[in-house]
Homo-oligomer: A and B are copies of this chain.
Amino acid sequence: MLTISQRAEMMPMSPIRKLAPLAEQAKDRGIKVYHLNIGQPDLPTPKEGLEALKHITRTTLEYSPSEGFFSYRKKLTHYYNKYNISLSPEDIIITTGGSEAVLFAFMTCLNPGDEIIMPEPGYANYKSFAIAAGAKIKTIATTIEEGFALPKVEEFEKLINQQTKAIMICNPNNPTGYLYTRREMNQIRDLVSKYNLYLFSDEVYREFIYTGSPYISAFHLDGIEQNVILIDSVSKRYSECGIRIGALITKNEKVREAVMKFCQARLSPPLLGQIVAEASMDAGPEYNMACYEDYVERRKCLIDGLNRIPGVYSPIPMGAFYTVAKLPVDDAEKFCAWCLTDFEYEGETIMLAPAAGFYVTPQAGHDEVRIAYVLKNADLNRALLILRKALECYNPKK
């Protein structure tokens, strides 16, 4: 019989994209939809990156090396140096987005049945890649009430058993915007070291930290250099989500050699994306500063606005460009769908990502949504007004 594999059955629909067909239908009805569901910044790509496309002189768009262009990997070492991360080009493998880096890390380091400890809520697609590798995610609960801070180390240790092979973090965090403290990172380091685990650290939002607290990379932690696998991407840094250029970075040579076999099987990362990413690094500090200032303003606009809506609560995210907010609804997924199917305010509506998809524990986050602040302030303010009106209409008796 023609059956679908168990892993495919288990794979979740993306909580970010699953309501997309409803949004398309709303647009077909002539309704304008504000997309707060997806981390697709509206900020411009560096002009250096866009210009590079216009100056391509090659006449054949050929394969690039499976590990990515040497010149690009070399240039990346200078970038990481600025963050006090010392790398050689050999430590860096270019991937098709950060997504492929996560997939390859899991496929390389984890056997079916192996377990990864991960704080929840967490980036939803980690779950998908774990299922693809047959690995299991065990979650450490963090809560909106405690601002998504990590629980005590004992909570981690309760989960550690023979099958535990790795801890995965995203720092600054998607979806919560949480930034791990020095104390928390040391706690993770000690666990990784004590149990000799892999530490998968997704740090694609390092440009976007809004507090005075320092960014502690997994590579800043002493004594676990062989355990760390860093996931990176230019998608957010340069507003280049579409070019699909990420990186898997590790000083563990055995891991790199194994990852390279997966890289060779898929032949090469995107050629054009690498050209754009490499050229984008020539953008001056004013590019990142302008983006940063935009996000600071948007964050203020969104969080202030959310907390002024009756029944809505959002902590203040310290990094990235998301927040997880609690809504006064029984089921945020139903509400998000309803906004697209049954609601409009002056011909407009909003699309939010139900937060339940970012949790592994059933029922957790059922009244929460993830909101990306990737729109201009005027649009954010409009979206906030629509959210307020939608909640009034959805909860008429409250």
Q: Tell me which residues from 64 to 107 in chain A have a Cβ below 8 Å from any Cβ of chain B.
A: 64-66, 96-97, 99-100, 103, 107
Bound Cα distance A108, B109 (Å): 21
Q: Flag if A266 contacts B60 (CB, 8 Å).
A: no
A254 closest partner in B (C-beta): B4
Of B20, B38, B128, which is within 8 A of A262 by CB? B128
The docked-state distance in angstroms from the alpha carbon of A276 to that of B125 is: 28
Q: Which A residues fall within an 8 A CB radius of B?
A: 1-9, 11-14, 16-18, 20, 38, 40-45, 49-50, 53-54, 56, 59-66, 96-97, 99-100, 103, 107-112, 114, 125, 128-129, 132-134, 165, 196, 198, 226-227, 239-244, 252, 254-255, 258-259, 261-262, 264-273, 276
The smallest beta-carbon distance between A97 and chain B, in angstroms, is 6
Question: Cβ of A241: which chain B residues have Cβ within 8 Å of it?
Answer: 61-63, 267-268
Tell whether, in the assembled complex, residue A62 and residue B50 are in contact, meaning their CB atoms are under 8 Å apart.
no
Q: A241-B61, A272-B53 are in contact. Are A109 and B4 (CB under 8 A)?
A: yes
Q: How far is the CA of A99 from the CA of B104 in the complex (A)?
A: 14
CB neighbours (8 Å) of A252 from chain B are: 2
Contact B59 A109 (CB under 8 A): no
Query: Quick one: given A56-B53, A129-B265, A241-B63, are A258 and B107 in contact (CB under 8 Å)?
Result: no
Task: Tell me which residues across on chain B come within 8 A of A110, comparing CB atoms.
Answer: 5
- Which chain B residue lies CB-closest to A18? B264
- Also in contact, A61 and B240, with CB within 8 A (given A11-B261, A227-B2): yes
Can you report 12 A-B residue pairs in the complex whose CB atoms are below 8 A from each other?
Answer: A5-B111, A13-B264, A14-B261, A14-B264, A60-B239, A61-B242, A62-B242, A112-B134, A125-B265, A128-B265, A244-B267, A270-B273
Chain B residues with CB under 8 Å of A108's CB are 4-5, 8
B38 touches A60 (CB 8 A): no
Contact B242 A271 (CB under 8 A): yes
* Extra A-B contacts (18), CB below 8 Å, given A5-B114, A132-B262: A4-B254, A4-B258, A5-B258, A7-B107, A8-B109, A12-B261, A17-B264, A54-B56, A125-B265, A128-B261, A128-B262, A241-B268, A243-B271, A244-B268, A244-B270, A270-B273, A272-B273, A272-B276
CA separation between A8 and B63, bound complex, in Å? 23
Q: How far is the CB of A108 from chain B (nearest CB, A)?
A: 5
Residue among A110, A114, A226 with most chain B CB within 10 A: A110
In the complex the two chains form, what is the Cα distance from A2 to B133 in whole Å?
17
Query: Can you tell how many copies of this chain the complex includes?
Result: 2
**Chain B residues within 8 Å of A196, by CB:** 1-2
Residue in contact with A242 in the complex, picked from B259, B262, B268, CB distance below 8 Å? B268
Question: Which residue of chain B has the shortest Cβ distance to A53 in the bound complex?
Answer: B53
Known: A54-B54, A59-B44, A63-B241. A262 touches B8 (CB 8 A): yes
A191 to B273 CA separation, bound complex (whole angstroms): 42
Q: Is A270 a contact of B272 with CB atoms below 8 Å?
A: yes
Smallest beta-carbon distance A222→chain B, Å: 17
Question: Nearest residue in B to A17 (C-beta to C-beta)?
Answer: B264
What 7 A-B pairs have minimum CB-CB distances, sorted nearest first? A242-B271, A128-B265, A14-B264, A8-B258, A11-B261, A272-B272, A99-B266
Q: For A264, what are the chain B residues with a Cβ–Cβ distance below 8 Å?
A: 13-14, 16-18, 125, 128
CB-based contact B100/A266 at 8 Å: yes
Choose from B7, B112, B242 the contact partner of A64 (Cβ within 8 Å): B242
Name the B residues within 8 Å of A97 (CB-CB).
Answer: 266-267
Please measure, in the bound complex, the distance between the C-alpha atom of A54 and the C-alpha atom of B128, giving whole angstroms: 36
Q: How far is the CA of A271 from the CA of B353 in the complex (A)?
A: 23
Closest to A238 in B: B61
Chain B residues in 8 Å Cβ range of A261: 8, 11-14, 128
Measured in the bound complex, the distance between the Cα atoms of B49 and A41 in whole Å is 27
**A372 shortest CB reach to chain B, Å:** 12
